[in-house]
A and B are shown apart, each in its own frame.
Chain A
Amino acid sequence: MAGDDKSMIGRRGALALGGALGGAAGLAALGLPSVADAAGMPAGLVAKAKKEGRLNVIALPPDWANYGAIITAFKKQYGLSVTSANPDGSSAQELQTLRTLRGQSRAPDCVDVGPSFAVEGAKAGLFAPYKVATWNDIPADMKDASGLWVGDYFGVISVAANRSVVKTMPQSWADLKKPEYKGMVSLNGDPMGAAAAFSAVYAASLANGGSLDDIAPGVHYFAELAKLGNFNPAQARPASVIGGQTPITLDWDYLSLSDRKKGRGKAEITVAIPQGGPAYGGYYCQAISAHAPNPSAARLWQEFLYSDQGQIMFLEGYAHPARFNALVAANKIPTALMQELPSPEAYRDIKFASLDQQAKAKTVLADLWPKLVKT
């Protein structure tokens, strides 16, 4: 977690990162408006939203990418009441709820789903297209061309360890195989059901001779961990990490860092991006329901999320926002915040798998995992 101001290079090719962040102090900010949304939003959106008076969101845990604080800020700024339902819901459940509650006033206005589900939902006609004011800042491969869904933030796979139980912090994938970590390494779910667990296997593959087209080495890695007795099949949750039952976990960086914050006072948790291979990243997507009970409020919510304020709030939750590179180039990000995040070195070469690559990987994983990983 060096405090150096080196630029954080975006992911493969598509995001060309402009110049260095430069020494923060002393550089004049480029002349971008402080609240970009106010300039570009459709006229009267705020008024219409206020008339609707409420917003329904779903599957937004308060400590996931700082959604709790974001919702509170939104409520305060616009005076709308926000109902946040089913915080622990999965992407599939979000789509399901859109179908189940259609036509009811409790139906969700917006969803935050994984990319394959965003594509699925778009195909099923569940979404309404909308392009936020800051649309152009968002990388092309993180959004749907017609505006049906947009990537909101991304993260990379990290390793978190409870230092009360783990004396030496594992720094690399190879480290995790050491005998001192017996029975300690857990995932936060089934790789076939939980996106972070699936991505952890992908990340392991990248560090062990695999590639985005080949997840098998990742499965072999976990098979070996299981054989060594280091792999703990129990599901890692914040309670079990902080409590020490699953002291080492592989999870999204924003979740690990949020665990660290949660555990302050109870247990010390150290987070690192494991060395040995490029970082593996994943992003989530915003979409507005085609049958939203509060359509203007929904659009206002989107504008808020993609405004400078909203995007930086994501970063405060340790999730890299979609407009990260644009914000960095415009020197909008507070130095103190940059220092809290893991070293930019680790983010230098983030790998995102395409939907096709993921689909192939899922088939291989479904087939290989039960055969190889024996706990």
Chain B
Amino acid sequence: MAGVMEEARGPAPAPRQRAIALWKPVRFGLGGWATIVIAALYFFAPLVITGVFSLWEGRSRYGFAAYRGLLADGEMWSSLLLSFRLSIETIALGLVLLLPAMIFVHLRAPRLRPLFEFISALPFVVPAIALVAGLTALYTGPDWLIGTPNYLVIPYFFLALPYAYRALDVGLSALDLRTLTEAGQSLGASWPQILFRVVLPNLVSAMLGAILLTLAIVMGEFTFANILLFRTFAVYITDVGQSAVTEAAALTLLSFAITWGAMLGVLATGRGRTAQVGGAH
């Protein structure tokens, strides 16, 4: 790549028959709008349908009865808070464990990458019940851990692993890690400085992706919480879905809106940092 860039600064090559204007980035234009509109139609249609159903009060009446009932339900809020808390804990655990390991592998031990890849794909294929059986066989511990919902952070970390790993991996691969760290070292920076002031700022986009995915996964996770009998948000939603018909649809939209709000919050705080470093866009 360096070669191409140097040549571009050199004398211009022989002009071709058609005029070479300075390349202007493609405007958003018709193609951009078409893509977005089609995507929006596809993604919003099911939500609109669910919304219509959630307002159905029977025969031909429509109203907000379902929503009113839900917002007044204390159990909804307690399960929601529980899920939020678990997501924050899982995100923290995930970043602390994954980042150093992956940076290490990318820099020093590229041979280990295939192993990491395989491990990160395992959660897809080991059925939840087998994982729970494995969990309980391996971890008999103090009641304060095993009996409480905090225990869920462990399986949740593994559930989010493939996605967080992939997001961070794509980000790390897009960086020229070796050059960056070597440059940092040659400038006299210590490892922590390199890590926090050189590498991580370039990884913000990937980290945000990993955080978002983990948040979404934990908020939506049902199987483990259900098997271990903890009342997380997803468990609550399913319970409601079994008994109360329109409330289920209303709850779906509510949870969608709440989670989306949380995401926007995460991105808003992250976006500021990207702007400072001056990302590619």
A and B touch in the complex (CB under 8 A): yes
Measured CB to CB, the residues of A under 8 A from B are 58, 61-63, 85-89, 93, 96-97, 99-101, 104-106, 164, 237-239, 242-243, 262-263, 265-267
Measured CB to CB, the residues of B under 8 A from A are 53, 56-59, 129, 132-133, 136, 143, 146-147, 226-229, 235, 238-239, 241-243, 245-246, 248-249
Would A238 and B245 count as touching, CB distance under 8 A?
yes
Contact of B147 among A58, A106, A164, A262 (CB under 8 A): A106
By DSSP majority rule, is chain B's interface helix, strand, loop, or mixed?
helix
Would B242 and A237 count as touching, CB distance under 8 A?
yes
A87 to B241, CA, bound (A): 11
Would A104 and B143 count as touching, CB distance under 8 A?
yes
Contacts of A164 in B (CB 8 A): 59
B116 to nearest A CB, angstroms? 29
Residue pairs across A and B with CB atoms within 8 Å: the count is 67
Name which residue of chain A comes closest to B235, CB basis.
Answer: A86
Contacts of B227 in A (CB 8 A): 86, 93, 96-97, 100
Would A265 and B229 count as touching, CB distance under 8 A?
no
Contact of A262 among B136, B241, B243 (CB under 8 A): B243
A263 to B89, CA, bound (A): 41
A265 to B147, CA, bound (A): 42
Would A87 and B245 count as touching, CB distance under 8 A?
no
Would B243 and A238 count as touching, CB distance under 8 A?
yes
A99 to B58, CA, bound (A): 43
A121 to B228, CA, bound (A): 19
Contacts of A61 in B (CB 8 A): 242-243
A243 to B57, CA, bound (A): 11
User: Given A86-B226, A266-B59, are A100 and B242 neighbors across the interface (CB < 8 Å)?
Assistant: no
Would A266 and B245 count as touching, CB distance under 8 A?
yes
User: Given A96-B129, A101-B229, A104-B147, are A87 and B242 neighbors across the interface (CB < 8 Å)?
Assistant: yes
Task: Give the 5 A-B residue pairs with the shortest CB-CB distance, closest first.
Answer: A266-B58, A85-B229, A239-B245, A265-B58, A100-B136
Name which residue of chain A comes closest to B129, CB basis.
Answer: A96
A241 to B170, CA, bound (A): 45
Would A100 and B226 count as touching, CB distance under 8 A?
no
A366 to B19, CA, bound (A): 69
A10 to nearest B CB, angstroms? 31
A238 to B238, CA, bound (A): 13
User: Given A239-B241, A266-B58, are A105 and B147 neighbors across the interface (CB < 8 Å)?
Assistant: yes
26 pairs, A vs B, C-beta closer than 8 Å: A86-B226, A86-B227, A87-B239, A87-B242, A88-B238, A96-B129, A96-B132, A97-B227, A100-B133, A100-B227, A101-B228, A104-B146, A105-B147, A106-B147, A237-B241, A238-B242, A239-B249, A242-B245, A243-B53, A263-B245, A265-B58, A266-B56, A266-B58, A266-B59, A266-B246, A267-B59
Contacts of A239 in B (CB 8 A): 241, 245-246, 248-249
User: Given A243-B53, A267-B58, are A97 and B242 neighbors across the interface (CB < 8 Å)?
Assistant: no
A86 to B53, CA, bound (A): 26
Contacts of A262 in B (CB 8 A): 243, 245
User: Given A100-B136, A243-B53, A266-B56, are A106 and B245 neighbors across the interface (CB < 8 Å)?
Assistant: no
Contacts of B133 in A (CB 8 A): 96, 100
A265 to B246, CA, bound (A): 12
B243 to nearest A CB, angstroms? 6
Contacts of A85 in B (CB 8 A): 229
A87 to B240, CA, bound (A): 10
Would A62 and B245 count as touching, CB distance under 8 A?
no
Would B132 and A100 count as touching, CB distance under 8 A?
yes
